[in-house]
């Protein structure tokens, strides 16, 4: 049976095995997909060993996305922009290849699942770490009319600005400089993990705005709660992004993109049951 896995640390609560197993069932495809905890020091050894033993594909999650990128012999344009990979496989020549489907997943969720078109919209991205770097390319490809990246550490946002300058000249800002309105505000900071929010003025929300938290949780993240409180038209967390990035990874491995509606409905229902 074809062998796949998601590797990370911690990874025990990953939803990826359930998601990929459901995708495979859509095509009556036998597939073995596990979640495997891998220590940073053991990453290279594990990845090479997995493929040498006939493994077909790996998803990579925190904290290994950047290190997995460094291991690859070939990477997609998107992974090169992101300097991180979440999808590994061997190409026809047996080279370890990496892609990054996080940005496609984000865009597919916002546009495909929620009907919010990014083209010509004013977009504010909060944070300038690996999570943001991973999605900027596909976000810019949707042609927002304006893009601002705000971060606590300005130098990190400026580094991203330089790295993506060929794709778009976007602005960077400190949180306390934000004084204009945006149609889409994406939280890519890791602050939801500790139950906190970037210090945002409510004026950043234009009428009809969408708030999107790249993190997800069983109840509203602080950023989703903030969006709802301040009248955002849509206030979404990253569960849909997780499912959509998985569908893109599945398509890379199997050459067929699964439907995501049933998986999204099931995960949403599980969540509402608490
Ligand atoms: P990831 O790979 O999840 O993006 P990261 O590279 O460590 O992780 O980036 C975390 C992001 O959350 C950064 O934008 C970070 O801001 P800094 O660049 O200033 O560190 C942001 N972040 C984390 N904790 C924060 C806090 N308490 N206040 C403001 N921003 C925070």
**Within a domain: 141:** yes
User: What does the pLDDT average to over 222-249?
Assistant: 97
Distance from residue 128's CA to the centre of ligand 1 (Å): 7
**Within a domain: 246:** no
Q: Determine the pLDDT at residue 272.
A: 74
Nearest protein Cα to ligand 1, atom 6: 129
Residues 131 and 72 in one domain: no
Out of 12, 65, 83, 121, which one is annotated catalytic?
65
Mean pLDDT across the chain: 96
Q: Determine the pLDDT at residue 193.
A: 83
User: What does the pLDDT average to over 151-162?
Assistant: 97
Q: Determine the pLDDT at residue 1.
A: 86
Residues 86 and 142 in one domain: no
For 34-47, write each residue's pLDDT tens digit.
999 999 999 999 99
**Within a domain: 268:** no
Distance from residue 190's CA to the centre of ligand 1 (Å): 5
Residues 89 and 115 in one domain: no
The last residue of a domain, from among 100, 116, 144: 100
**Within a domain: 271:** no
Residues 41 and 150 in one domain: no
Q: Determine the pLDDT at residue 261.
A: 96
The last residue of a domain, from among 35, 65, 100: 100
Residues 108 and 235 in one domain: yes
Residues 120 and 167 in one domain: yes
- Is 162 within 8 Å of 219 (Cβ atoms)? no
Specify the CATH number for the domain of residue 121: 3.40.50.720
Nearest protein Cα to ligand 1, atom 12: 189
Alpha carbon distance 204, 182 (integer Å): 6
114 lines ligand 1 (CB under 6 A): no
Specify the CATH number for the domain of residue 89: 3.40.50.10860
Residues 90 and 118 in one domain: no
User: What does the pLDDT average to over 185-212?
Assistant: 94
Alpha carbon distance 86, 77 (integer Å): 13
**Within a domain: 167:** yes
Distance from residue 214's CA to the centre of ligand 1 (Å): 13
Residues 89 and 123 in one domain: no
Number of structural domains (the chain) is: 2
Domain that holds residue 130: 103-239
For 198-208, write each residue's pLDDT tens digit.
999 999 999 99
Residues 81 and 140 in one domain: no
Residues 107 and 233 in one domain: yes
pLDDT at 49 over 80: yes
pLDDT at 244 over 90: yes
- Is 197 within 8 Å of 223 (Cβ atoms)? yes
Distance from residue 16's CA to the centre of ligand 1 (Å): 24
198 lines ligand 1 (CB under 6 A): yes
Q: Determine the pLDDT at residue 270.
A: 85
Q: Which two tokens stand for residue 49?
A: 């060993």
106 lines ligand 1 (CB under 6 A): no
User: What does the pLDDT average to over 165-194?
Assistant: 95
**Within a domain: 42:** yes
For the question of residue 156 being annotated catalytic, the response is no
Residues 199 and 213 in one domain: yes
Burial grade of 36 (CB within 10 A; 0-12, 13-18, 19 or more): middle
pLDDT at 274 over 70: no
Nearest protein Cα to ligand 1, atom 24: 191
**Within a domain: 262:** no
The last residue of a domain, from among 79, 100, 121: 100
Would strands 234-236 and 205-213 be described as parallel, antiparallel, or unpaired? parallel
Best residue for ligand 1 mutational test, from 152, 153, 159 (most atoms within 8 Å of Cβ) = 152
Residues 96 and 108 in one domain: no
**Within a domain: 39:** yes
């Amino acid at each position: 049976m074809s062998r796949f896995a998601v590797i990370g640390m911690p990874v025990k609560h990953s939803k990826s095995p359930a998601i990929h197993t459901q995708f495979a069932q859509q095509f009556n495809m036998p597939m073995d997909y596990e979640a495997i905890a891998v220590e940073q020091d053991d990453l290279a050894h594990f990845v090479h060993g997995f493929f040498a033993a006939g493994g077909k594909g790996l998803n990579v999650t925190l904290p290994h996305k950047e290190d997995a990128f460094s291991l690859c012999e070939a990477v997609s344009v998107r992974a090169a922009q992101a300097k991180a990979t979440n999808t590994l496989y061997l190409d026809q020549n047996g080279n370890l290849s990496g892609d990054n489907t996080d940005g496609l997943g984000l865009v597919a969720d916002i546009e495909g699942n929620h009907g919010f078109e990014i083209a010509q919209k004013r977009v504010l991205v909060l944070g300038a770490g690996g999570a943001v770097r991973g999605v900027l390319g596909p976000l810019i490809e949707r042609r927002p009319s304006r893009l601002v990246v705000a971060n606590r550490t300005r130098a990190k946002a400026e580094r991203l600005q330089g790295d993506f300058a060929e794709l778009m000249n976007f602005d960077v800002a400190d949180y306390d400089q934000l004084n204009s309105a945006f149609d889409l505000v994406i939280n890519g900071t890791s602050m939801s993990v500790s139950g906190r929010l970037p210090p945002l003025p409510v004026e950043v929300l234009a009428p009809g705005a969408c708030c999107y938290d790249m993190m997800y949780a069983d109840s509203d993240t602080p950023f989703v709660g903030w969006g709802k409180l301040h009248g955002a038209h849509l206030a979404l967390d990253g569960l849909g992004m997780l499912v959509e990035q998985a569908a893109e990874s599945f398509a890379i491995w199997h050459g067929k993109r699964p439907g995501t509606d049933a998986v999204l409905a099931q995960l949403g229902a599980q969540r509402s049951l608490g």
